A = this chain, B = another copy of it.
Amino acid sequence: MKPAVVLLSGGLDSATVLAMARSEGYRAYCLSVDYGQRSQAELDAARRIAFAQGAAEHRIVAIDLHAFGGSALTDRNILIPTGGVIEGEIPVTYVPARNTVMLSLALAWAEVLGADDIFFGANAVDYSGYPDCRPDFVRAFETMANLATKSGSEGRRLRVHAPLIELSKAHIIRRGLALGVDYSLTVSCYQADDAGRACGQCDACRLRRAGFETLMIPDPTRYRTTGQAAGG
């Protein structure tokens, strides 16, 4: 089995990507980045998912993106929007250069492992406002990565797989269920509590719920209160 580094956030998308990498026969080295996100429940979820899906290894690397501020996900002075408008402008939940930083860390580990493959759950459909979720970005990162590294300069070819990039949330869920992903282990909410229970109101909660609703499949998400769950 070939080794691959899989970026694992603890959310629905990356849990699906891990299952896809495993189904393609990769030995999965899961990497989670503790970048000062508000919700540590995501990282707990990542641990459970990596174990449940038979990852070869799971590492959490801490980096203080909080030090730069600028996003509602790392800066407690910026409110997380719950108004339900997810179009047009780049949302305040965008973390500056987050995917670039996370892919760079995946690249570092891939190089040490001798892995030529990185899997990454970026999604351009639901998050069209995030510049670093677009296919052009992923290709440009891959080009850069091959110039950056020892393996690239030795003629091997590093690939960045972003298999969800053009899929809708409903498509992602359907794919993951077919591969046996247990979505009750995943946490998508931007402001989940310590037990991993979701608010039901932020953009991530709305997108996730809409995905299950489209498929008419029971949503295993645990919400804080029934009132909030229905509050979207």
Contacts and interface: CB of A to CB of B under 8 A. Distances in A.
Interface in A98-135: 98-101, 103-105, 107-109, 111-112, 131-132, 134
Contact of A134 (B97, B100, B111, B147): B147
> Mostly helix, strand, loop or mixed at chain A's interface?
helix
Contacts of A141: 144, 148
Contacts of A134: 147
Nearest to A62: B64
Contacts of A98: 108
Contact of A148 (B107, B108, B137): B137
State the number of copies, please: 2
A100 B96 contact: no
Interface in A119-174: 131-132, 134, 136-137, 140-141, 143-145, 147-150, 152-153
Interface stretch (A8-16, A65-73, A199-207): A65-73
A100 B65 contact: no
A215 interface: no
A79 interface: no
Contacts of A143: 140, 143-144
Contacts of A63: 61-64, 105
A100 B107 CA distance: 9
